A and B are shown apart, each in its own frame.
Chain A
Amino acid sequence: MEILYVMIPLGLVLVAFGLWAFFWATGNGQFDDLDSPGWSVLDDDRLPGPAREDSDPRPPEQPK
């Protein structure tokens, strides 16, 4: 069982890495909103064009 003297510290290093990643993600705003990004997959064909000239919303689309 002497291998545990190596494996446990290794496991702790992994945990520390996981925590670091979690802190980074939190600070980066990844957990601020867990609901709405799920909706973004629904409309990746309608990206907000940065250079659209008309300020009117787009004309009606025929739903399929």
Chain B
Amino acid sequence: MSAAGAPCFHCGEPIPRGLALHARIAGHDQPVCCHGCKAVAEFITGAGLGDYYRYRDTSSNRADEQPRPDRWAAYDRPELVERLTRPEPNGARSIIVLLEGLRCAACSWLADKALSLQSGVLDVSVNPATARARIVWDPAKVRLGDLLRVLEHVGLRPHPLAGEPSEQMALLERRDALKRLAVAGFGNMQVMMFAVPLYFGEATGMDPAMREYMRLVSMLVSIPVALYSGWPFYRGAWVALRSRAISMDVPVSLGIILAFVASVWNALSGQGEVYFDSVTMFVFFLGLGRYVEMIARHRAGSVADALARLAPATARRVRSGVAEDVQAVELAVGDELVVRSGEVLAADGLVIEGEGRVDESMLTGESAAVAKPPGARVHQGTHNLGAPLRVRVTAVAGNTVLSGIVALLERAQAERPRLARAADRAAAWFLSRILVGAAVVFAVWWYVDPSRAFSATLAVLVVTCPCALSLATPTALAAATAALARRGILVAHTDAIEALSKATHVLWDKTGTLTRGLVRVEDVQTFGEVTAAQAMSWAGALEQLSEHPIARAFAASGAPAGQASEVEVHAGQGIDGRLGGRRLRIGTREFAVALRSATPAGEPAPVPADGSGESRVYLGDDSGLLAAFRLTDPLRPEAQDCVANLAALGLPSEIVSGDEASAVARIAARSGIERHAARLAPQDKLARLKALQAGGAVVVAVGDGINDAPLLRGADVAIAMGRGSALAQNSADLILVRDSLEDLPHTIDLARRTQRVVRQNLAWSIAYNLAALPLAALGYVPPWLAAIGMSLSSVVVVFNAMRLSRGSTPRRRPPWPAAREAEVA
């Protein structure tokens, strides 16, 4: 029932041409793109969790390789469990795990159920907002490694977090903000309720005693709002003032304090007007915006967590011939380590024995693994894909290349060109004028009629209270942030929206943004009587024992059809082996053809190397060539449209990549990008960025890897992919959670609309204040008019901002009809 061109049942990605691989799900064959996805889909439905496919609202992460049972073995060691977990009552332990690929509530349901089915698991809580799970289990019944393995089996890669205190702090911070928000919200509702009769009372006459009573009650309710809910603003303003800076908190705090103190004074003295309704509304809306922003920031995580995911917690140290597992923090320069195949290095060092191939893509962006003969340098955080290595440690902890990149990050962050916010500047400018104006008014009235000096000055300060002015920007930003969140775009720093609206250039890192960042078999061409699936399965069996990056493409896409014997790896050529009595070779064309005894007719002409960055791998036996595989890191289907749409919005794109020139050129041509640069180190990318910025450009950077993090930190707007590394997401202002580029042009459009709304709001509130100021100074504004005008100006601003959240309904991927049918059947 696999329709031609149907996407993978599990991950929704296109299926390589010529591959007919199916997962058996609920009695139906569903097409899948690779063996990783097949294994995950069959495990999920096999565990009775097939409902997941009905309820998820985005497709899942591609399972890039089949689960490796040995990966989690280290987590069975008691010392490590001791360090990562916390004791719970009755001998149970708890751990916090970050789940990579957790993107919707259905994913968290899946993780919850999959774990709960294990015996010995006492409690699981999965939070989709932060992508973290807390597991409580009984170590006597089940091992931690087994639980992590289950999570990987359902397609969610777990990262145990040692830094639970920071998790706990983030949780407490969220709860605290929520409480302050609730006080402001409840308080605002109450005060509004008292404000309406006060407004009407002004117009129609009201019993003075009742009026006093209402005003005093309003004050009573406003006190906790102003003191408790407003406290974070005062703290922020104080911190900014102490470092001799003006942040948004300063005018906000001044507005709250001025309006509140004036209202309290008037309420107690029984004269003038009270503005408790405005004060509480102001605190509530600002607090709401801050809360939404904080949730997004917490989800992006912290640098410490990101590093915990990169560098392994343990290493295997050799001392006087004895190998023992130790914690990475115990390592010292001069230690000797054994790094087995598939392991991540815990420190920088020199290879002293072994022929390794190391995947350094997280440092260099290069997708191909680098050969590491004895004497070569290897780095912390890189992945050994080849033979076991013996490594002498040359740098640990703060001195490794990885920590150097983190330091580079922090510097780029400090030098980040902050676009001064128009609203901040306008509010600060306006505020200083108002203070001067109020002083002048006080002086003049003191001269004319000292008894009215104070009340007239208060009227000036309150009528011109920069409430609407200060609300102008945050309400628009909050509405835009919410609209983007519904589309799966997380805004971690709301300043980015203003910068985004002014953006002039887009810098792309190629791997993982324009492409998917995974080498995969794109095309299978067969010769003779072999089917594509057969060829893939043989290739998979041969490549099973190899750690070459190309082999990983087969491990993901090819079926290992049993165990190959007499396997021999010919460096630089390919693999020779025997499978079910048949001698097979996979590798370069010459190598694969060499088995052939006679020259048959009708053999395809060799494909010349076209420098396109694609690689071809051939499979042959004694009858000649059997199949040719085309391997690529494919362009995302939406990339070309995205680049074209960005160009239409006036943003030219440019690629800065650490990858090979030919691969970069191919992707640039396919995506329609003219400017591109290859083989750049992180600092070269940063230099290119600085050069653009020096020319006055406002640069958007899109990246996904560790090597992009400095670029992202230095950019005016940094965008990270949802499947990218945590460190890249940390550096980002915006995160594309759905891992798709299609919403990027829309985001820029929305940012520009947001700026328009902000300008309209500023213009309106300044015009209102300018009109009211002279009248109030002369004592001509009747109190009820001042109150209505002030509330109205704020309400206009809020409603104008709400327009941004309209017209952007959430766009969801169409549910796969095949999946529906299978689940209902």
Contacts and interface: CB of A to CB of B under 8 A. Distances in A.
Contact of A4 (B45, B55, B129, B210): B210
Contacts of A59: 46, 48
A59 B47 CA distance: 6
B120 interface: yes
B118 A60 contact: no
B51 A43 contact: yes
Contacts of B183: 19
Contacts of B824: 63
A5 B213 contact: yes
Contact of A57 (B47, B120, B217): B47
Contacts of A54: 119
Contact of B175 (A1, A15, A19, A27): A27
Nearest to B143: A55
B217 A62 contact: no
A35 B129 contact: yes
Contacts of B179: 22-23, 26
A57 B213 contact: no
Given A32-B127, A33-B127, A63-B823, A55 B175 contact: no
B159 to A, nearest CB: 19
A42 B221 contact: no
B171 interface: yes
B109 A58 contact: no
A42 B129 contact: no
A40 B55 CA distance: 12
Nearest to B221: A12
B118 to A, nearest CB: 6
Interface string B181-207: 011001000100010000000000001
B128 interface: yes
Contacts of A49: 119
B538 to A, nearest CB: 30
Interface in B146-183: 146, 150, 171, 174-175, 178-179, 182-183
B114 A57 contact: yes
B117 A48 contact: yes
Given A32-B171, A36-B128, A53-B119, A26 B105 contact: no
Contact of A22 (B117, B182, B217): B182
Interface residues of A, number: 40
8 contacts: A8-B217, A18-B186, A26-B178, A36-B108, A48-B117, A57-B114, A63-B50, A63-B824
A8 B193 CA distance: 10
Given A19-B183, A52-B119, A38 B105 contact: yes
Contacts of B48: 46, 57-61
B277 interface: no
Contacts of A43: 51, 113
A12 B216 CA distance: 13
Contacts of A12: 190, 217, 220-221
Contacts of A46: 48, 113
B122 interface: yes
Interface string B107-132: 01100111011111110011111000
A55 B146 contact: yes
A26 B125 contact: no
Q: Top 6 nearest A-B pairs by Cβ distance?
A: A48-B116, A57-B47, A39-B109, A35-B105, A61-B48, A36-B108
Contacts of B45: 60
A12 B55 CA distance: 43
A60 B142 contact: no
B292 interface: no
B127 A58 contact: no
Contacts of B186: 15, 18-19, 22
A34 B295 CA distance: 13
Given A26-B178, A57-B117, A59-B48, 9 more contacts: A22-B179, A23-B179, A33-B126, A36-B127, A39-B105, A43-B113, A60-B46, A60-B47, A62-B26
B113 to A, nearest CB: 7
Contact of A36 (B118, B119, B126, B825): B126
B518 to A, nearest CB: 28
Contacts of B210: 1, 4
A55 B128 contact: no
A55 B190 contact: no
Interface residues of B, number: 51
Nearest to B115: A48
B578 to A, nearest CB: 34
Contacts of A42: 51, 55, 109
B175 A31 contact: yes
B595 interface: no
A15 B122 contact: no
Nearest to A16: B186
Contacts of A60: 26, 45-48
Nearest to A19: B186
Contacts of A26: 175, 178-179, 182
A10 B171 CA distance: 34
A48 B136 CA distance: 13
A25 to B, nearest CB: 10
A32 B221 CA distance: 27
A40 to B, nearest CB: 8
Contacts of B174: 32
Nearest to A49: B119
A1 B201 CA distance: 13
Contacts of B55: 39, 42
B106 interface: yes
Nearest to A34: B129
B216 to A, nearest CB: 10
Given A26-B179, A39-B106, A33 B47 contact: no
B311 to A, nearest CB: 29
Interface string B205-240: 001001001000100110000000000000000000
A35 B128 contact: yes
Given A12-B221, A39-B106, A63-B823, A57 B46 contact: yes
Contacts of A31: 175, 178
Contacts of A52: 117, 119
Nearest to A9: B217
Contacts of B146: 55
B229 to A, nearest CB: 11
A32 to B, nearest CB: 6
A31 to B, nearest CB: 6
B173 to A, nearest CB: 12
B127 A55 contact: no
A62 B825 CA distance: 9
Contacts of A40: 109, 112
Contacts of A27: 175
Given A12-B217, A32-B127, A58 B47 contact: yes
Nearest to B47: A57
Contacts of B128: 33, 35-36
Contacts of A51: 119
B207 A1 contact: yes
Contacts of B120: 55
B119 A55 contact: yes
Contacts of A48: 116-117, 121
A40 B124 CA distance: 12
A55 B118 contact: yes
A26 B171 CA distance: 11
A22 to B, nearest CB: 5
Contacts of A53: 119
Interface string B50-61: 110001000000
A34 to B, nearest CB: 8
B825 A63 contact: yes
Nearest to A57: B47
Interface string B277-315: 000000000000000000000000000000000000000
Nearest to A39: B109
Nearest to B120: A55
Given A23-B179, A35-B129, A59-B46, A15 B116 contact: no
Nearest to A47: B116
